[in-house]
Amino acid sequence: MQRDDIQNSLIVSCQPVPDGPMDAADFVIGFARAAVDAGARALRIESVAYVKAVRAAVSVPIIGIVKRDLEESPVRITPFVADAEALADAGADIVAFDATDRVRPASIEALVKVVAAKGKLTMADCSSLEDARHALAAGVDFVGTTLSGYVGGPEPVDPNLSLIAEMRQLTPYVIAEGRIRTTEQAAAAVKAGAFAVVVGSAITRTEHVTSWFHEAVAKAYDAKSPGTVLAIDIGGTKTMAALVRGSDVLDEITVATAREEGPDAWLAAIADRVGIWKDRYSRVGIAVTGFVQDGRWSALNPATLAIPDQYPIIEKALAVFGKPVFAANDAQAAAWGEYSFGAGNGGDVVFLTISTGIGGGIVINGRPLAGLAGHFGLIRGPSEGSFPLEDQTSGRWIASEALKAGHKATAAEVFDLAEKGAPWAKAIVSQSVLRAATLCRDIQMMLDPDQIVVGGGIGLAKGYLDQMRKELAGIDSRLRPVLVPAKLGSRAGIIGVASLAAEQG
């Protein structure tokens, strides 16, 4: 054969688990025939006997190897010159061997020489770029990434795509092999520069594939019945702590957020209040107003809740509670809670909370978006860049507008007065409603979610959502957002962050 005969091809490694129930010639021949029928252009076969059996059954090129466990050398793949000769005589078109820089029974040069004398090609199974460089200098025809991750240290999970790309700088004849378990990984190997791609266990080792699926299914069932999480929701005016299992809130407390004391004091106060629960939970989930990245918490609008920038909330909470901690933005956590257990109905969802400030969360294709995604209250377009939207829409704004009108009242009191017909109160609420409805219209045009779930003390205030719908009533139905009330109410954040924390386990 010529090297180009296997260019741009899938090679299937038909190697049963040693001494497993499929470690027999009939099974290996069956694997080989099935692989060729499905489009494999070459095969990788272990042992002289199996190479001989498969050679009689198929016409595609065969890469042959012999595996031996030696006391005097860590080299396992075709360690002896005699093995290489026997593989060539049995019908292998390419003889592969360990080309790592370790104590070995036969040199790479000797193996290349004997295989070439038989008129066959050689493949060097390498662990590093230096291995490949040495093998090419010795005259090998192909280099492979087969042994990357197998010469010491913990075994990686993913294929070494960077090594493929590095080898491609030395030669076009790079065969990608090792831990390629998905179609996406195989395609990534091609993009990295592979001449051909070998897939083995994912196709022909039933035991390995079954174990992968078993582990995934078991983990999914464990997540479906999660343990109890201590969920904490630190807001601008109050903090809630609860024991949560799935969507069930087993116990809860609420305390005022002492804004002037800072996050160290808040965590200490919560820990003190929930001390009686210390043996009832295994993880901690914390939902906070603001921005969480790499375990650090920052305020994007200090007017909502001022905290030290880059506050190490994961580290601090771990020290206080002594158990694994997960932290997320409160509205993003609530979005996940509503998606998973509330009004989301399994579709693409935007969650909008209108409360002391305005926050939001986005779940697209079953995945919650993190980072800055959903911080709708901070957009500045309506004010031409002067201030955040929440500063002229939220509960804090409603109370401040009431004070400007000569009435010292909370947002809740303004709503009560508006319902009773007070013109000044109705005007304030109407302005808030108009801006919130306009925001929802913009969200629909940008993200086209199946629905927008509205929560928060203001968003769920009596009549607020109905007024938002009236503001949007004149829009073409194809463009009009579907607004639904949050089902989990004030518990959306703690249920959502508990679910996210449980998934980290």
**Residue that the structure tokens 């375990």 belong to:** 295
Architecture category of domain 347-486 in CATH: 2-Layer Sandwich (3.30)
The two tokens of residue 197 are 């791609």
* 103 pLDDT higher than 80: yes
Query: Residue 504: its pLDDT value, please?
Result: 82
H or E segment at 37? helix 25-37
Q: Which residues pair with 283 in a beta bridge?
A: 229
Query: Residue 505: its pLDDT value, please?
Result: 63
H or E segment at 446? helix 423-447
Q: pTM for the whole thing?
A: 0.57
Residue from 315, 244, 303 nearest 274 by CA: 244
* 222 pLDDT higher than 70: no
Query: Residue 113: its pLDDT value, please?
Result: 98
Radius of gyration of the chain (CA): 32
Intrachain domains 3-212 and 347-486 with the same fold: no
* Mean pLDDT, range 478-505, rounded to an integer: 90
* 304 pLDDT higher than 80: no
SS3 62: strand
Separation in Å, CA 412 to CA 365, 390, 489 = 36, 17, 16
* Mean pLDDT, range 190-214, rounded to an integer: 96
pLDDT tier at 91, thresholds 50, 70, 90? very high
- Between CA 436 and CA 449 the distance in angstroms is 16
Query: Residue 471: its pLDDT value, please?
Result: 93
* Mean pLDDT, range 477-500, rounded to an integer: 92
* 213 pLDDT higher than 70: yes
Best CATH choice for the domain 229-332 from the list 2.30.290.10, 3.40.1010.10, 3.10.20.30, 3.30.420.40 = 3.30.420.40
- Indicate the length of the chain as a whole number: 505
Average pLDDT of the chain, as a whole number: 93
The two tokens of residue 339 are 């998606």
Task: For the chain, give the percent of residues with pLDDT over 90.
Answer: 75
Each residue's pLDDT tens digit, 335-392:
999 999 999 877 899 999 898 888 899 999 999 998 888 888 888 887 777 888 888 8
Separation in Å, CA 275 to CA 253, 257, 270, 493 = 12, 18, 8, 21
* 223 pLDDT higher than 80: no
SS3 227: coil
pLDDT tier at 60, thresholds 50, 70, 90? very high
Each residue's pLDDT tens digit, 379-431:
888 777 788 888 888 888 999 999 999 999 999 899 999 989 999 999 999 99
Separation in Å, CA 31 to CA 34, 41, 43, 178 = 5, 14, 10, 19
Residue from 150, 157, 154 nearest 100 by CA: 150
Position 41, amino acid: R
Q: Let me know: does 361 contact 292? Beta carbons within 8 Å.
A: no
Task: For the chain, give the percent of residues with pLDDT over 70.
Answer: 99
Q: Let me know: does 246 contact 225? Beta carbons within 8 Å.
A: yes
Best CATH choice for the domain 3-212 from the list 3.40.50.300, 2.60.40.10, 3.30.1490.20, 3.20.20.70 = 3.20.20.70
Each residue's pLDDT tens digit, 226-279:
689 999 999 877 899 999 998 899 999 998 888 889 999 999 999 999 999 988
Contacts 24+ apart (CB under 8 A), 419-423: 419/462, 419/463
* Mean pLDDT, range 430-455, rounded to an integer: 93
Q: Kindly report the number of other CB atoms within 10 A of residue 415's CB atom.
A: 24
- Between CA 20 and CA 29 the distance in angstroms is 16
pLDDT tier at 215, thresholds 50, 70, 90? confident
pLDDT tier at 225, thresholds 50, 70, 90? low
The dihedral over CA atoms of 188, 193, 196, 200, expressed in degrees to the nearest 10, equals -40
Q: How far apart are the first and last CA of the chain?
A: 51
* Mean pLDDT, range 314-323, rounded to an integer: 96
Q: Let me know: does 372 contact 291? Beta carbons within 8 Å.
A: yes
| Residues 6+ away with beta carbon under 8 Å from 10 | 39, 40, 41, 186, 196, 197, 199
Q: Let me know: does 450 contact 345? Beta carbons within 8 Å.
A: yes
Least confident of 57-71, 217-231, 284-298, 364-378: 217-231
Query: Residue 102: its pLDDT value, please?
Result: 96
Residue from 412, 411, 342, 328 nearest 375 by CA: 328
Question: What residues does each domain of the chain span?
Answer: 3-212, 229-332, 347-486
* Chain centre distance of CA 239: 29
